Amino acid sequence: MNKRRFAVMAALCALSVVASTSLWAGGSKDATAPAKKTKLVIASDATWPPMEFVNENKEIVGFGPDMLKAISKATGVEIEIRNTAWDGIFAGLAAGDYDAISSSVTITDERKKEMDFTEPYCNAGQILVVQKSTTGVTTLADLKGKKVGAQIGTTGAIEIGKVEGVTLASYDEVGLAYADLALGRIAGVVADSPIAADFALQNPEYKAKLMIVGQPFTDEWLGLAVKKGDAATLKILNDGLAKIKADGTLDAITKKWLH
């Protein structure tokens, strides 16, 4: 093979490599580009009135569902709410069973290690509820030597565990804790302020028996939890939250359910 022919063939080979490399790169980009999401499945433990609960028509209603409907309308993305038990809700998110959680989830540094969060949408500090016959109690420390209830795995349970001398009584569902409190089986219940207000101030079964004491003793922001690294879902939800905050929709939802 003469030098000229070799040079021509080498040039053709080089062009072929460049062309095939460019074609592969283009194909790879198209294949790995994330598809635009048109629907989100969001888990919610619908046992937390007024934030999220099942009404007499077996519909999931409350602050959270109204907020999600507003986000859906603002973004044009369909949202399906899936009622999910609290004790497995975070594992399901990690496994990809749904796109996000809307269930009064407090944003904490520990949780941020396992999942991503949207911008906060509500401040719901912990507060103490006791029987109306209780006197001399305004803080958890005033209940030393007694049992105080909270739903398992919640911020309320964590806060009770911090107070020396107070015994935590754990419950699978917060309503069971209030039932025991009304019966005098425990001395108090710690829960998010909106939930405490619903049970102690609105619930016809308990409002004559229970009362809120003191002030919220934590400053806690709620956020929508998203699987770690799921930037597409996070963007949709943050965009929606920004829109409903700006146009006053979120304020209206807050007034409807929490004031």
Residue 18 has pLDDT above 70, yes or no: no
* The predicted structure's pLDDT at residue 19: 39
Task: Give the end of a domain, one of 176, 194, 213.
Answer: 213
Does 69 fall in a domain? Answer: yes
Task: Specify the length of the chain in residues.
Answer: 259
The pLDDT, as a whole number, for residue 165 is: 97
- How many structural domains is the chain composed of? 2
pLDDT per residue over 189-245, tens digit each?
A: 999 888 898 898 878 999 899 999 988 889 889 999 999 999 999 999 999 999 999
Are 150 and 189 in the same domain? yes
Assigned domain for 13 exists: no
Report residue 163 as tokens.
């107070």
% of the chain residues with pLDDT over 90: 73
In tens, the pLDDT along 26-42 reads 333 444 445 679 999 99
CA-to-CA dists, residue 161 to 155, 187, 214, angstroms: 10, 15, 19
Q: Where residue 172 sits, what CATH number does that domain have?
A: 3.40.190.10
Alpha-carbon distance 166 to 58, whole Å? 37
In a domain, 116, yes or no: yes
Task: Report the distance separating Cα 85 and Cα 7, nearest Å.
Answer: 70
Residues 248 and 202 reside in one and the same domain: no
Check whether residue 88 and residue 136 sit in a common domain. no
**DSSP E strands, 85-228:** 100-101, 115-117, 122-123, 126-131, 147-151, 167-171, 188-192, 210-213, 221-222, 225-227
Residue 153 sits in which domain range? 126-213
Helix (H, G, I), strand (E, B) or coil at 184: coil
In a domain, 5, yes or no: no
